[in-house]
Structure 1
Amino acid sequence: MTVLHAVQLTVFPQLSMVSRERRHSANGHGGAVRFFTGLSGSGKSSVAHVLEAQLFSLGHQVIIVDGDNIRAGLCADLAFDVEGRAENLRRTSEVLQMFVEAGVIVLATFVAPVAADRARLRARLDDTTFVEIFCDCPIEVCETRDVKGLCLRPRSGEIVQLTGVSAPYEAPLAPDLRLCTDLESLEASARSVSVI
């Protein structure tokens, strides 16, 4: 028996005695995922933070799941190669699913440059609760917003692969919502995101 089979034989997912419907009723809304994708500096986190504050002030259960925070903790062991990026989103999909079950509105902000990885994440989640939001912003504008100093690092050789600069970003061909974050304010972008 391989180790994989041994694990499969000893893992028994547990079901809660509190139903998804009861949790949603208690919160006054269902769980939802608004998945923001785009280049670093495209405004994903900024728009999500404005929206989070708006929703929280209305009494909604809302949380931001940020790609950097996930990479700093749950996925700190993963590389930024193709396999690492895929596993990062696989693990993230499990976290997002738990929040949806609990009736929480999740604002997920990830570069997520590979279209196939984003498709797998969508497939893992209930399609009625998942909305892909493409923060569309030219790289030239993203570079002017580069508070992390990432854009200079590939040019100096410090980072080999940086999405949008020295590595590709596969822009969504048919996102549920496209925000032109270089042309509109954070508040206007946040208002465009329907959550309930």
Structure 2
Amino acid sequence: MTSPYNNKENITDKSSDVVWHNATVTSEQRAEQKKQKPVVLWFTGLSGSGKSTVANAVEAKLMALGKHSYLLDGDNVRHGLNKDLGFSDADRIENIRRIGEVAKLFVDSGSIVLTAFISPFISDRQQVRDLLEHDQFLEVFIDTPLEVCESRDPKGLYKKARSGEIKNFTGISSDYEAPLNPEIHVKTAEFSIEQCAEQIVDALIERKYFSF
């Protein structure tokens, strides 16, 4: 049986009857309540680069500073919202599209959103950026050499990819397009997790997303 969610005609017909509902409370009011400027910190990098680890460390620091944030992790999202998606190029694109829309909702709530996804394609990351205002998206490139990521291999994925057990694995059998001009450039092979997290929080303060 074909799912109605895979029927583009059904989706198009349904969308034409949907009208945007304007909320009484504005995004500006939500941000003012939280005493911060909402933003998406889009962590991108190879598997094993340290995206989730650094993002978790950043969120802990934000919590300690009394800031309102939420972390969307690639693996966690695939357990629920995106559990119907695989790892083909098409599914990776849809995975990022959905996350972009969810991140936009969190920004509207006034939150600082951290997203930790490989997100291998420049065009997909740009698509998410285009959903938001110019100062609501910061690309955080977790720039870790492939050989370092593969030596870490915390989930044993590189080993499986090298043996052919995993197809379309980024960095091995599928391309990763590194950011050309990331707002924040982090090198986990050269600095500790603590130092990387401090670099990112300092960048937020310098760019006036919050003060304390």
TM > 0.5 fold call: yes
Shift of 1:40: 0.6
Could you tell me which of 28, 38, 46 is aligned with 2:35? 28
1:15 matched to 2:49: no
The within-5 A match list for 1:1-196 is 3-193=10-200, 194-195=203-204, 196=209
Shift of 1:124: 1.0
Equivalent pairs, count:
195
Percent identity between matched residues is 43
Distance 2:162 2:10 in 1: 44
Distance 1:26 1:152 in 2: 48
Distance 1:115 1:177 in 2: 16
Shift of 1:8: 2.5
Shift of 1:31: 1.1
Shift of 1:34: 0.6
**Code of the aligned partner of 2:83:** A
Deviations along 1:77-122, one digit per CA (max 9) or x if unpaired, are 1121121111111111110001001011011111011111111111
Larger deviation, residues 156-165 vs 107-116: 156-165
Deviations along 1:36-65, one digit per CA (max 9) or x if unpaired, are 100011111111111111110111001111
Shift of 1:173: 1.4
Note if contact 1:43-1:181 (Cα within 8 Å) is conserved in structure 2. yes
Distance 1:155 1:181 in 2: 23
Note if contact 1:93-1:125 (Cα within 8 Å) is conserved in structure 2. no
Residue number in structure 1 paired with 2:5: none
Shift of 1:179: 0.9
Question: Secondary structure of 2:196's partner?
Answer: helix
Distance 1:16 1:31 in 2: 18
Question: Secondary structure of 1:163's partner?
Answer: coil
* Unaligned residue ranges in structure 2 (runs of 5+): 1-8
Shift of 1:10: 2.1
Shift of 1:30: 2.1
Distance 1:9 1:46 in 2: 41
Q: 1:3 to 1:146 in 2, by over 3 A?
A: same
Shift of 1:146: 1.5
Distance 1:4 1:191 in 2: 44
Deviations along 1:6-33, one digit per CA (max 9) or x if unpaired, are 3133212222111111111111112111
